[in-house]
Amino acid sequence: MTPFWLIAGLLTLLACALVLVPLWHARPRPAPDRDAINAQLFRERLAELEAERRAGRLSEADYQGLREDLERTLLADIPEAASTAVRTDHPALMLGIVAGVALPLAALAWFYLHGYRGEVADWLAARARLGPLVEMLLGDPEAQLPEQLQAELPNFIRVLQARLAADGLRDAEGLYLLGLAYLQVDASAEAQAVLERAHRLAPERADITVSYAQSQIMANAGRLDPASAKLLEEVLRTHPEHQGARMLLGFAAFNAGDYAMAITAWQSLLSAQPLQSEVARLLGEAIERARQRQSEAANAPAAPLAQGADANAQARITVTVELSPELQSRLSTDDSLFVFAKASAGPPMPLAVVRQPATGFPVQLVLDDSRAMMPEHTLSRFPQVVVQARVSKGSGATAASGDLESTPQPVDLSAGPQTVRLAIDRVVP
């Protein structure tokens, strides 16, 4: 606070100087001494009279008379000169003082009353109040945000932002802390930007990666998308027991309609919980709810379109799936084959999925509206789709390291039923 007022005072002095210094140098010069002017004029006139007398143009009597008149004129000018001898520019100087000093001081007074005592004062007070807490949290990565801070979260975010900006936004721990604060106030876009930067600075930090995925899921209305799924899979690949990643993966997959993935994630969590614990009970209920939704989605008829049955009939893809001979040795009896179609531009969940044992290649199957995971998301609603096949080593449709997959192939359903050949020829890294 003191530096602020010191700077304000220096700027006020500068403003005063910019006004007063030019006035001082431009003030009128003092008027010449009137007595000195009269004396000079007297001497010049007297010299002229003496020159006239010597030249014979004036008699002695005329010379004496004119000299007496000149002396009387000099004496008559002395009182007037005494009364007006001093000229001053006090009014101009006073006007300069008012303009150069009073106006800046008045502006400072107005700012203090109407500006400083408002948002500026609140900001300075918040920085003084929360600055030590910010430094403490930045110095202790294990520290948690105090519960009583909830009411002060907006101010805490402002103070933390200023602190991180002063360091050039290079502190991954500070950015992570800021991202968590954004998530608590439901600012998912801001959290995503901050946590993305923190993830780039510290990609090995599982807690940062999970929070970054959480921000992406929040920005996607709580649903899993390919980017957030990839982040969570990276965490689980290096930290298989990370419960936060599995819990988040389960809820986001459930919201996206991928009930199989949600069940898998929650079952992994359930196996690590005491059987009679409250967490185990809640996970059991969530798994049962996902199974019910999965059964409803499988048995629900495809929703008709405004275009009628013809649109449903055109939304049909006959897929032939081949397996590269080089990958035959990687198959096991527990592997599952997933063939699915996703919208080229639309929801991240598959529009149609077929799951079956990964045997008997080449395999031929059909994707149509009867294979939709959700009645409101069907092939007939999206003419531009992408089809892909994957051999999964687990029970989920999301790609994991070691899975076998084909290259995604675009399909245009607006031209009617299509036939596609997919070659599974690569291993997911």
Please report the pLDDT score of residue 84 as a whole number: 45
Containing 318, the helix (H) or strand (E) segment is strand 317-323
Count of beta carbons in the 10 Å neighbourhood of residue 386: 16
Task: Give the list of residues 6+ apart from residue 128 with CB closer than 8 angstroms, or none.
Answer: 1
Residues 181, 156 contacting (CB under 8 angstroms): yes
Alpha helices (runs of H) in 316-379, residue ranges in sequence order: none
Strand pairing partners for 366? 318
pLDDT digits (tens, 9 = 90+) for 70-117: 777 766 665 544 444 444 455 655 666 666 666 666 666 665 555 545
Three-class SS state of 195 = helix
Query: pLDDT tens for residues 31-80?
Result: 556 667 767 777 787 788 788 888 877 788 877 877 777 777 766 665 54
Distance CA 354, CA 107 (A): 74
Model confidence at 307, in pLDDT bands (50, 70, 90)?
very low
pLDDT at residue 83, rounded to an integer: 45
Q: Would you put residue 12 in left (φ > 0), alpha (ψ -120 to 50) or beta?
A: alpha
Q: What backbone phi and psi angles, to 5 degrees, belong to 167?
A: -95, 5
Beta bridge partners of 321: 363, 422
217-261: pLDDT as tens digits: 888 878 888 888 889 988 988 888 888 888 898 888 888 888 888
Per-residue model confidence (pLDDT) at position 86 = 45
pTM: 0.47
Q: How far is CA 413 from the centre of its chain?
A: 40
Query: Are 321 and 422 contacting, i.e. CB atoms less than 8 angstroms apart?
Result: yes
CA distances from 118 to 107, 111, 113, 158 (A): 16, 10, 8, 16
Give the residues across from 424 on adjacent strands. 323, 406
Peptide bond into 362 cis (omega under 30): yes
**pLDDT of residue 389 exceeding 90:** yes
Q: Which amino acid is at 117?
A: R
- Whether 30 has a pLDDT exceeding 60, the answer reads no
Rounded to whole angstroms, how far apart are CA atoms 172 and 401? 27
pLDDT tens-digit series, residues 195-212: 999 999 999 999 999 999
